[in-house]
A and B are shown apart, each in its own frame.
Chain A
């Protein structure tokens, strides 16, 4: 009996060491980023965030183009991926015939596990020629008067190509989490709703989704996290030009892409390296803020909205 108790405590101790290890690693990452970016933070201050020029030989460093590119790719990918993956998740959980569900689920999980460089290469081979030869000429001909859809350079590479491929990368993540979240809604609640005469659509909209929203939101946050930091696929597709894109078809640059492309060279100069570490710090903070604050904000928004609905929930 004592022996068992002792073992249990020992086990607990080891586990708590592990969890403190995690915290330590996290703090080390933050500390190192802060330490190395300090010279750039002091030298360029807050204007670093809205300065558009990035000129290493002249030691002028501003993050605006990279921040703009990062958020454009991320939000475009989310705009494409969220409705699609919600649809896929809902279909799989609520409508899909049982004998196909397993098959589709496996396919989605395989998609989620494909290394991003493979997606990148696939994008160069398929998305780029498709955009260059079909989509861009079409938009150039019919929609060139819409500034945001103007085709400046008909090359296929750019913000849109990168967003498409990132969409395919985050789609399986959000879809499979949506499906799992919907599956975790207790059957008894759904049955209760059906008993009041609700249709299947009513139940999905007013019972299942409100009940599963935390999980779905978690999936979207995960998708955001992958999209915002996605590197190699973006490097291959975005066109790597430090400009703020004026159009969806324009080229751009993201924080992760510029780090991957130039950091090994940047170490040659103190302030150059420091500025690039500051970019990494921005990326780190963005993921942190999304994960910490975003959760609460969305809980209030969606929770409030659905709590007024007929079946409660949230």
Chain B
């Protein structure tokens, strides 16, 4: 009996080994293929860079890591999606090289992490999506940030509220409860969204404020932007918000949002870039990028709810080679890395050229 069991055990483990080796074979092969890539440029010291943090920025970090590694095979860029909070705190503690974050360092975080620089690497936005029976799905309904704040505060509860009709004459709004959908997880899109509401509604600013994970007065929360899209699409009367990437991916119609100049603007790569341009041109935008763009832009074609995505990097690197590697990677990401095949494809808008001067100044602080 005992021997039989042993035999069976051996057979089983042999079988599982065989299965494992079959599963692992492609990995091993691809490893070989990688090592045949072109030789390293002498200027970048070999080693590893770890980027960890924001789940929103993770897809962009991943495609950048792959592309950069192809250019510099001796530099391994490892990417993890751990949340902006971990990104910031771990970058400050030196556990990771670069912390990816959806939010800039607010005053209290600046105090706690004085040696971090937040380098903008891309632009993102939050756009309002809705599912209203009777309204064609390809129509960009006009909305104002104040109206959206009132909906998310629970003050406006029904689509038959005259304000919708007033903003969008010619459409018939049903007598239907508004189902407020928001993100359940801490999210950069939520930060953009609540930033706009904070800038435009005093009640929102007092009651809720800007945060990646605010205390929502009404509605229900869903895990990830995909779930927000699904919830809004499947619920008649639903309203939610997602970033540009999901609007493009799912061919969604978002609302045309009122901006400071008085125009109703639809979020797109162009209007988001226009907002960033306008914010920096107007002056007064902090050179360390410790601010949201969102509402406070005067350009006519600026989308009023766009924002920077950041890489958090410690100013003083222990190893000069690490500093060199970081600078090379960031310079690449800000240059060729801004191409649409990386940024737009993963749901971000590239940084406008006008930003680069200040960004490079920030990067010079990393030593």
> B231–A241 contact, CB under 8 A?
no
Q: Which of B48-100 contact A (CB under 8 A)?
A: 82-86, 88-89
When distances are taken between beta carbons in the complex, the residues of chain A under 8 Å from B212 are: 265
Mask for B165-190, Cβ within 8 A of A = 1, else 0?
A: 00000000000010100001110000
- Would A240 and B221 be within 8 Å (CB), given that A267-B89, A268-B89, A268-B109 are in contact? yes
> A56–B89 contact, CB under 8 A?
no
**Residue of B at shortest CB range from A257?**
B184
> A56–B211 contact, CB under 8 A?
yes
Whether A203 sits at the interface, judged by CB under 8 Å, is no
- Would A54 and B215 be within 8 Å (CB), given that A235-B223, A268-B89 are in contact? yes
When distances are taken between beta carbons in the complex, the residues of chain A under 8 Å from B85 are: 264-269
Mask for A114-135, Cβ within 8 A of B = 1, else 0?
A: 0000000000100011001000
Whether B4 sits at the interface, judged by CB under 8 Å, is no
> B214–A57 contact, CB under 8 A?
yes
Mask for A46-68, Cβ within 8 A of B = 1, else 0?
A: 00000001111110100000000
Name A's interface SS: mixed
Please give the distance in Å from A264's CB to the nearest CB on chain B.
3
> B235–A262 contact, CB under 8 A?
no
Please give the distance in Å from B75's CB to the nearest CB on chain A.
27
Whether A255 sits at the interface, judged by CB under 8 Å, is no
When distances are taken between beta carbons in the complex, the residues of chain B under 8 Å from A241 are: 216, 218-221
Number of A residues with CB within 8 Å of any CB on chain B:
35
Please give the distance in Å from B85's CB to the nearest CB on chain A.
4
> B220–A153 contact, CB under 8 A?
yes
Please give the distance in Å from A170's CB to the nearest CB on chain B.
22
When distances are taken between beta carbons in the complex, the residues of chain B under 8 Å from A239 are: 220-221
Q: Which of B181-238 contact A (CB under 8 A)?
A: 184-186, 208-216, 218-223, 227, 230-231, 234-235, 238
Most chain B beta-carbon neighbours within 10 Å: one of A60, A156, A236, A265 = A265
Residue pairs across A and B with CB atoms within 8 Å: the count is: 95
Whether A221 sits at the interface, judged by CB under 8 Å, is no
> B179–A240 contact, CB under 8 A?
no
Whether A224 sits at the interface, judged by CB under 8 Å, is no
Q: Which of A218-273 contact B (CB under 8 A)?
A: 235-236, 239-242, 251, 253, 257, 261-269
> B211–A57 contact, CB under 8 A?
yes
Chain B residues touching A, range: 35 or more
Contact of A265 among B84, B108, B215, B238 (CB under 8 A): B84
> B210–A261 contact, CB under 8 A?
no
When distances are taken between beta carbons in the complex, the residues of chain B under 8 Å from A54 are: 215
> A53–B215 contact, CB under 8 A?
yes
Mask for A263-293, Cβ within 8 A of B = 1, else 0?
A: 1111111000000000000000000000000
Whether A155 sits at the interface, judged by CB under 8 Å, is yes
Please give the distance in Å from A144's CB to the nearest CB on chain B.
14
Whether A306 sits at the interface, judged by CB under 8 Å, is no
**Residue of B at shortest CB range from A152?**
B177
CA of A118 to CA of B130, assembled, Å: 28
Mask for B98-115, Cβ within 8 A of A = 1, else 0?
A: 000000000011000000
When distances are taken between beta carbons in the complex, the residues of chain B under 8 Å from A128 are: 234
Most chain B beta-carbon neighbours within 10 Å: one of A54, A154, A155, A251 = A155
CA of A132 to CA of B231, assembled, Å: 12
> A262–B186 contact, CB under 8 A?
yes
> B208–A57 contact, CB under 8 A?
yes
> B213–A56 contact, CB under 8 A?
yes
> A155–B231 contact, CB under 8 A?
yes
Whether A213 sits at the interface, judged by CB under 8 Å, is no
CA of A236 to CA of B222, assembled, Å: 7
Contact of A55 among B108, B215, B227 (CB under 8 A): B215
CA of A242 to CA of B227, assembled, Å: 18
Please give the distance in Å from A167's CB to the nearest CB on chain B.
21
CA of A262 to CA of B211, assembled, Å: 12
CA of A267 to CA of B89, assembled, Å: 7
CA of A103 to CA of B219, assembled, Å: 44
CA of A253 to CA of B222, assembled, Å: 11
**Residue of B at shortest CB range from A158?**
B220
> B184–A240 contact, CB under 8 A?
yes
Contact of B179 among A57, A155, A242 (CB under 8 A): A155
**Residue of A at shortest CB range from B209?**
A57
> A57–B215 contact, CB under 8 A?
yes
Please give the distance in Å from B195's CB to the nearest CB on chain A.
12
Other contacts beyond A57-B208, A264-B84: 18, CB < 8 A: A57-B211, A57-B214, A58-B215, A129-B234, A132-B234, A153-B179, A156-B234, A235-B184, A239-B221, A241-B216, A241-B220, A261-B223, A262-B185, A262-B186, A264-B82, A265-B186, A267-B83, A267-B86
A-B contact pairs, 9 of them (CB 8 A): A53-B215, A54-B215, A58-B215, A132-B234, A155-B238, A240-B220, A261-B186, A269-B85, A269-B108
Chain B residues at the A interface, C-beta cutoff of 8 Å: 82-86, 88-89, 108-109, 177, 179, 184-186, 208-216, 218-223, 227, 230-231, 234-235, 238
Chain A residues at the B interface, C-beta cutoff of 8 Å: 53-58, 60, 124, 128-129, 132, 153-158, 235-236, 239-242, 251, 253, 257, 261-269
